[in-house]
Amino acid sequence: SGDRANPVVDAVVLGAGFAGLYMLHLLRDRLNKNVRVFESADGVGGTWYWNRYPGARCDIPSHHYSFSFSEELEQEWNWSEKYAAQPEILAYLEFVAKKFDLAKDITFRTRVNAAHYDEADKLWIITTNQGEVVRARYFIPAVGTLSDANIPEFKGHESFAGEVYVTGKWPKEGVDFAGKRVGIIGTGATAMQAIPLIAEEAAHLTVFQRTPNYGTPLRNEPMTPEVDRAVKENYRELRRQAWESFAGVPFDRLKPSALADSDEERLKQYEACWEDGGFSLWIGCYADTLFDERANKHTADFVRAKIRARVKDPAVAEMLCPPESQAYGTKRQPCETNYFETFNRANVTLVDIKSHPIEEIVPTGLRTSNAQYDFDILIYATGFDAFTGAMFKIDITGEGGLPLKDYWSAGPRTLFGLAAHGFPNMFFITGPQSPSVLFNMPLGIEMHCEWIAQCISHMDANGYASINADPDAEQQWIRHTKEMADATLLPEATSWYLGANIPGKPRVFMVYLGGGKHYKDVISRCAAEGYTGFTLTPVTCDALA
Ligand code: NA7
């Protein structure tokens, strides 16, 4: 059993983003627990610490994309734009950390290398890269769902002589593009935010596109005092509406079916959602968009027509239009500002690397199968090893020394996305098989942190030492998650929801698609019924053993 000389705490939390910060606050300030948080960065913020690339901002209105647990916080903080940019969201999280005095329990610049469950003591033994060992009753890796950057290892990738940047690890001091030739690989949600701004600064920008995307306008605008006041006077009702909605953000135009409307009515509805911006067309337009191929095709045609109208060169417009074989919105809907117009600029070139793949990175740029492109700066906007990437970077072992990586070798296995069988007292936040990234993140994080805190307080009150997910319940949840996904068009896309962006990753749809409201009911009922689907082991068993 573990080294008894090492200090024991109630909980170790990894990460100081939205999730880690709130988990610390709940456990320490509501349950009076002794908590250690480890964070690899030198400050709080998580996603919003690392993603400092130009144009980074949230795609859900900030009034919704924020903590709801403190009315005082809601009233105190003022958003300057409808959709806040990265510096403002980071400042908000720094404000939260200060307001709730969180930093004093966070060890920065420290990465956890290993977390091993010690069955005899029912403790997690956690080892950091600074050589510290901490024993903890509970282990909560709040390491983020999209935090492990995917950097494809093209042949010769280390040979590039210029500057190299990764959007998800952007330097604090920023990047000066003035007078530079820039190459960017990727055209996902991140690239669509960054490309228009980089194009304005750089001498030349070459965009390497493998798959075109159905981007739609974000329509960001400055926050007016009137809107801010109206929200703050009505915040509880707005949050209630958010919880009633599918994805944790309310849309008031949603109609049941695109197929029930006439062509004229449908176009009117699409135009209205297009004008609303954000995710309105994706999840706030017709409820069958992501369920019915015919309904989906109507939206896809609408967006393609918009792209053609915005891009002057018809050949470039066609390259930017996703083909009919690619359903609309089955990959994450990117929200953009002047993305398509950017390709009308004389200093921007679009290169199709589906037809002519990148063969090699060379000191002066890169070579595709039919041409060479030279630049001074290379940017990888190539996404993340989502859901499991960051977790697998840590050597996590459960009962019997089983590595999490092995237990999940064919895809994540969880009960409610909150826990995995054989890994007692370990909890995930917005983990795989929960609504996760298809739900308003701060609210989803609050839901999970509150469930975990309630569970721990239940265990304390009833004298339990450990909680473990039952294999049967877990299997049932995996099956249910798959059924919910299979009812939609989403598993057909080669998306990171499915792990399809990472070579060799098992293709399993990793998000629970039953909707946030239903999901919350399910996990609340589980708690109310004394944690059905979990085995709780009393403290007394330890003493007898
Ligand atoms: P995404 O959506 O995964 O986009 C990554 C982009 O990089 C996408 O266009 C990919 O093309 C491209 N990519 C990835 N690997 C390669 C290789 N090997 N060669 C060429 N092109 C490649 O990541 P984002 O960061 O944009 O967005 C992630 C989420 O973060 C976002 O949805 C928000 O929720 C926040 P592909 O489409 O795979 O052909």
Report CA(209)–ligand 1 centroid distance (Å): 10
Identify the residue whose C-alpha is closest to ligand 1 atom 31. Answer: 189
* Cβ–ligand 1 contact at 183 (below 6 Å): no
Atom 2 (ligand 1) nearest CA: 188
CA dist 394 → 106, 133, 389, 477 (Å): 18, 14, 9, 25
The pLDDT of residue 7: 80
Please indicate whether residue 493, judged by its CB atom, sits closer than 6 Å to ligand 1: no
Rg, the chain, Cα only: 24
Please tell me the residue having the least CA distance from ligand 1 atom 14.
382
Nearest CA among 346, 293, 343 for reference residue 318: 343
Distance 78 CA to ligand 1 centre (A): 32
Q: Which atom of ligand 1 is nearest to the CA of 154?
A: 18
329 CB less than 6 Å from ligand 1? no
Q: What is the pLDDT of residue 277?
A: 98
Ligand 1 binding pocket mutation candidate from 382, 387, 505 (most atoms within 8 A of CB): 382
pLDDT for 6: 78
CB of residue 501 inside a 6 A radius of ligand 1 = yes
Cα 531 from Cα 456, distance rounded (Å): 11
Please tell me the distance between residue 306's alpha carbon and the centre of ligand 1 in angstroms: 22
Could you tell me the CA-to-CA distances from 36 to 69, 134, 171 in Å, in that order? Answer: 22, 9, 27
Distance 193 CA to ligand 1 centre (A): 12
The finding on whether 189 has its CB within 6 A of some atom of ligand 1 is yes
Q: Which atom of ligand 1 is nearest to the CA of 146?
A: 30
Pocket test for ligand 1, best of 157, 501, 502 (most atoms within 8 A of CB): 501
Q: Is the CB of 500 under 6 A from ligand 1?
A: no
Residue 170: CB atoms within 10 Å? 20
Which ligand 1 atom sits closest to the C-alpha of 210? Answer: 39
Ligand 1 near 186 CB (within 6 A): yes
**What pLDDT is recorded for position 1?**
43
Per DSSP bridges, beta strands 133-141 and 123-128 are antiparallel
Instruction: Measure the CA–CA gap between 217 and 516, rounded to whole angstroms.
Output: 25
Q: Whose CA is nearest to atom 15 of ligand 1?
A: 382
Residue nearest to atom 36 of ligand 1 (CA): 211
**CA distances, 88 to each of 108, 317, 353 (Å):** 21, 34, 35
* Alpha carbon distance 541, 273 (integer Å): 58
| Each residue's pLDDT tens digit, 77-102 | 999 999 999 999 999 999 999 999 99
Cα 195 to middle of ligand 1, angstroms: 13
Distance 74 CA to ligand 1 centre (A): 33
As for the ipTM of the complex, it is: 0.99
State residue 338's pLDDT score. Answer: 98
Q: How far is CA 418 from CA 102, 197, 364, 512, in A?
A: 24, 38, 47, 12
Measured in Å, residue 529 CA sits from the centre of ligand 1 at: 41
418 vs 466: CA distance, rounded Å: 15
Determine whether the shortest distance from the Cβ of 437 to ligand 1 is under 6 A.
yes
Would you say the CB of residue 468 lies under 6 angstroms from ligand 1?
A: no
Distance 501 CA to ligand 1 centre (A): 7
Q: What is the signed CA dihedral for 60, 64, 69, 70, rounded to 10 degrees?
A: 120
Ligand 1 and 190: CB distance under 6 A: yes
Of ligand 1's listed atoms, the one at least distance from the Cα of 190 is 26
Report which protein residue has its CA nearest ligand 1's atom 23.
Answer: 383
- pLDDT for the residue 240: 97
CA distances from 351 to 187, 316, 335, 339, 348 (A): 11, 9, 21, 15, 10
CB of 185 within 6 A of ligand 1: the answer is yes
20 lines ligand 1 (CB under 6 A): no
- Parts of the chain with a pLDDT under 70: 1-5, 541-545
- Phi and psi, residue 176, nearest 5°: -95, 110
CB of 255 within 6 A of ligand 1: the answer is no
Index of the ligand 1 atom closest to the CA of residue 500: 38
